[in-house]
Amino acid sequence: MQDLTHYIDGDHVQGGSGRFSDVYNPATGEVQARAPLASRAEIDHAVEIAQAAQPKWAATNPQRRARVMMEFVRLLNRDMDKLAEALSREHGKTLPDAKGDVQRGLEVVEFCVGAPHLLKGEYTDGAGPGIDMYSMRQPLGVSAGITPFNFPAMIPMWMFAPAIACGNAFILKPSERAPSVPLMLAELMLEAGLPKGILQVVNGDKEAVDAILEHEGIASIGFVGSTPIAEYIYGKGCAHGKRVQCFGGAKNHMIVMPDADMEQAADALVGAGYGAAGERCMAISVAVPVGEETADRLIAALKPRIESLKVGPYTSGDDVDFGPVVTAAAKENILNLVQSGVDAGAELVVDGRDFRLQGYEEGFFVGAHLFDRVTPDMDIYRKEIFGPVLSTVRAASYEEALKLAMDHEMGNGTAIFTRDGDAARDFANRVNVGMVGINVPIPVPLAYHSFGGWKKSAFGDLNQHGTDSFKFYTKTKTVTARWPSGIKDGGEFNFKPMD
């Protein structure tokens, strides 16, 4: 069994607290490594190193910082297979899903190559008599990110790439469930030319999180995880004077109109609902067919597709649709919620509770589930399950379907499948959800747009990646300049005093 490390000042550092967290292989249930859990003193040390390194990095011109990002992109492509294999080994997702995880992070790094343009300020010539006015974007200093297990490559890169491109140093506290890839990313950033001390990776639990939230040397914090923790981090971080963005849970609805292409809609739901075992905040977990006939057709199309899904370890290659969930506790929580749905009277059309995989009996595998006739008062509707479970809520009308998405306390993503442009336009304009798909089941924006939900899915004023990220990781300084005018007389300038 391997003991993992922190990554501080450009080197691997053994944990000093004496506390560790087990890292599992979700396919076998075996402990494959231990992640050190940092003490407050270790967080203090990482911040001290970052503070010392950051001023020189901030003084490096944006074009040279962008060149580091360009080289990092090359290295990510070089090591794609290696990163994906390490990610799958700790998370359990299939290799294609793991490569997608790395790729979506890589795309944000590509966007950050545009830092010289994105950091430009504004200029007004002649704002007043002899007065010019201009603004500049300057780094905050030291930023931190607290990232989840389900995207251990993508979300760290969504945070540290723009922060570092803006001239900040960055403290990354990844999930202790999947810590290896973040450490590998830090190594690649150093290889790409990033100075030591600019990117630190410190593993830890609540003690490390609280130390980050309370540290006077950290100016901003990003977080992705569950809504209760997002609320905690946002509240405590703001109370300590930090700039904070927190992204929480989701319950994403997909409206299926009577005129939708039912085969397309069913395929989209299977991919969006069961990919990565449903462990993603943009998973579709609620299907809302409009009308009884539409619902019957949708269930008839979904049932055979879901029953034929193949579940197995990532080592099975392309023959597997999704793998295990991340821990035994996650598996237990999913199955408890499934049972609550049965107890509440929902119809379990596809039952994956008894799924067993020969040779992997101790793994954290959960079979695919499909519920029909779910109602909004049920726990399986209200709560984020984060597993391979799709709930179907039948709506009598478009307005009722729209109301379901709007009334839920979470507002991360939503989608509508229809051939009616008027219905799609109305839905996109009215729904109070941050990301909307029209005949697109997982509406994750590309890197040059911003990612973020509404309601209890997000806390803070600015979203992730896109131009919002460069605003989040910088502060604006505005300069008003007036110079005394001179009159040339006898080869010399006589300066007039300013009023």
Which of the following is catalytic: 112, 166, 246, 281?
281
Render pLDDT for 198-243 as a digit per residue (tens, 0 to 9).
999 999 999 999 999 999 999 999 999 999 999 999 999 999 999 9
In a domain, 150, yes or no: yes
In a domain, 364, yes or no: yes
In a domain, 192, yes or no: yes
Same-domain pairing of 379 and 239? no
Render pLDDT for 132-178 as a digit per residue (tens, 0 to 9).
999 999 999 999 999 999 999 999 999 999 999 999 999 999 999 99
Same-domain pairing of 238 and 257? no
In a domain, 431, yes or no: yes
Domain count, the chain: 2
Same-domain pairing of 234 and 261? no
Same-domain pairing of 49 and 191? yes
In a domain, 156, yes or no: yes
**CATH (domain of 395):** 3.40.309.10
Answer yes or no: 281 catalytic: yes
Same-domain pairing of 306 and 383? yes
Same-domain pairing of 349 and 289? yes
Tens of pLDDT along the chain (499 residues) come to 799 999 999 999 999 999 999 999 999 999 999 999 999 999 999 999 999 999 999 999 999 999 999 999 999 999 999 999 999 999 999 999 999 999 999 999 999 999 999 999 999 999 998 899 999 999 999 999 999 999 999 999 999 999 999 999 999 999 999 999 999 999 999 999 999 999 999 999 999 999 999 999 999 999 999 999 999 999 999 999 999 999 999 999 999 999 999 999 999 999 999 999 999 999 999 999 999 999 999 999 999 999 999 999 999 877 899 999 999 999 999 999 999 999 999 999 999 999 999 999 999 999 999 999 999 999 999 999 999 999 999 999 999 999 999 999 999 999 999 999 999 999 999 999 999 999 999 999 999 999 999 999 999 999 999 999 999 999 999 999 998 776 555 555 555 554 5
Same-domain pairing of 138 and 19? yes
In a domain, 490, yes or no: no
In a domain, 337, yes or no: yes
Same-domain pairing of 295 and 241? no
Same-domain pairing of 138 and 197? yes
Same-domain pairing of 372 and 388? yes
Render pLDDT for 83-93 as a digit per residue (tens, 0 to 9).
999 999 999 99
Per-residue three-class SS string for the chain:
CEECCEEECCEEECCCCCCEEEEEECCCCEEEEEEECCCHHHHHHHHHHHHHHHHHHHHCCHHHHHHHHHHHHHHHHHCHHHHHHHHHHHHCCCHHHHHHHHHHHHHHHHHHCCHHHHCCCCEEEEEECCEEEEEEEEECCEEEEECCCCCCCHHHHHHHHHHHHCCCEEEEECCCCCCHHHHHHHHHHHHCCCCCCCEEECCCCHHHHHHHHHCCCCCEEEEECCHHHHHHHHHHHHHCCCEEEEECCCCEEEEECCCCCHHHHHHHHHHHHHHHHHCCCCCEEEEEEECHHHHHHHHHHHHHHHHCCCECCHHHHHHCCECCCCCHHHHHHHHHHHHHHHHHCCEEEECCCCCCCCCCCCCCCCCCEEEECCCCCCHHHHCCCCCCEEEECCECCHHHHHHHHHHCCEECEEEEECCCHHHHHHHHHHCCCCEEEECCCCCCCCCCCCECCEECCEECCCCECHHHHHHHCEEEEEEEEECCCEEEECCEEEECCCC
Same-domain pairing of 244 and 298? no
**CATH (domain of 176):** 3.40.605.10
In a domain, 371, yes or no: yes
Domain boundaries, position 415? 252-438
Same-domain pairing of 409 and 329? yes
